[in-house]
Amino acid sequence: MITNIQFEVSPGEAGLRLDALVRARAPTSTAALVRRALEAGTILVQGRVAEKGGKVRPGEIVSIAELLEVSDLRVQPNPALRLEILFQDDDLVAINKPAGMAVHPLRPEETGTLANALVAQFPEIAALGDQPLLAGVAHRIDTDTSGLVLAARTAAAFEALRAQFAARRVEKTYLALVAGAVKRDGELTHDLAHHPTSRGRMVDARSLRVAERPMHAVTAFRVVRRVGAFTLLEVTIFTGVTHQIRCQLALIEHPLVGDTLYHGPAVRGFDRHFLHAAAVALAHPRSGDPMRIEAPLTPDLRALLAALEQNAPK
């Protein structure tokens, strides 16, 4: 961590944005960490808090009280967190993540994520990958989505897994409980984009006048059974677009049960969306042998299905 330093803006640096200047002066940090320090008020100009986009003048004094460096971005082990391990060998570990737990921390001081638990049990993964706070995790699922998450235990395994995900050779299967009666199996193809004003929400890019970086999403679904007023679906994806399943099913008017962001129906006593990463099919990162790993439904999902089926009209 960079602490308690100051420097004078040179004539050649005059007119630079403050965040760009600090980034240039502190190459061991990152743009995101500089922005965070500016927001926290630990970087001052002439003794005063300044905007990240403010332009600096020659002779001004920039003071840095605290600024994290890349080397500070390490997932902290938390042995108090329990892991439900589905599979492990010398290259790979698969976990059944509970709902409500984020896959990885956004800040190094966070300790309640799956990655914190993984690093406590498998310390070798802490340094894997080019995003330190991911700590070897090969893919992500939403905080309120339960189910299977893969992590590598060696650098070679991490690169092999990342290559498979990039080439869309990993088949991910989910179980989703959705509103209404889905009458037949189907496949959905959309270009999705971030909503310009609703933070965290995805929309069909065609609904926007200008879509920033639309992402192609393909989702196949199979009807498992009716559950009262809802339908249980088996959903398979190869792409990994943010909220892909949640958004695409909502676009055909079958949003997930409990998914308030996409106007899914609420069920009393159930406080998350019904989406579970149930299985993954891939090639083993060392041997190349095909493998399939499955994650059983979590207790809250099993209990909800049982209650809905018990109360369904006979």
pLDDT of residue 108: 83
3-state DSSP assignment of residue 80: coil
Segments in the chain below pLDDT 50: none
- The model's pLDDT over 285-300, given as tens digits with 9 standing for 90+, comes to 999 999 999 999 999 9
Burial code of 41-68, b = ≥16 C-beta within 10 A, e = fewer? Answer: ebbbbeeeebebeeebeeebebebeebb
- 142 carries an active-site annotation: yes
Domains defined along the chain, listed by start: 2-72 (3.10.290.10), 74-167 (3.30.2350.10), 170-314 (3.30.2350.10)
Q: Spell out the SS3 assignment of 148-183.
A: EEEEECCHHHHHHHHHHHHCCCCEEEEEEEEECCCC
pLDDT of residue 210: 64
pLDDT of residue 199: 77
Between CA 205 and CA 209 the distance in angstroms is 8
Between CA 99 and CA 236 the distance in angstroms is 20
Nearest to 46 by CA among 4, 6, 1: 6
Q: pTM for this structure?
A: 0.82
Between CA 285 and CA 24 the distance in angstroms is 38
Unique residue bearing structure tokens 């640096």: 13
Catalytic residue among 89, 90, 142, 271: 142
pLDDT of residue 234: 98
Nearest to 198 by CA among 236, 250, 140: 250
DSSP state of 139: -
pLDDT of residue 211: 62
The neighbouring-strand residues paired with 225 are 232
pLDDT of residue 33: 85
Unique residue bearing structure tokens 């940090």: 29
To 10 degrees, what angle do helices 31-40 and 18-25 make?
Answer: 120
| Cα end-to-end span (Å), the chain | 64
The neighbouring-strand residues paired with 175 are 234, 276
Ranges assigned E (strand) in 83-142: 85-88, 92-97
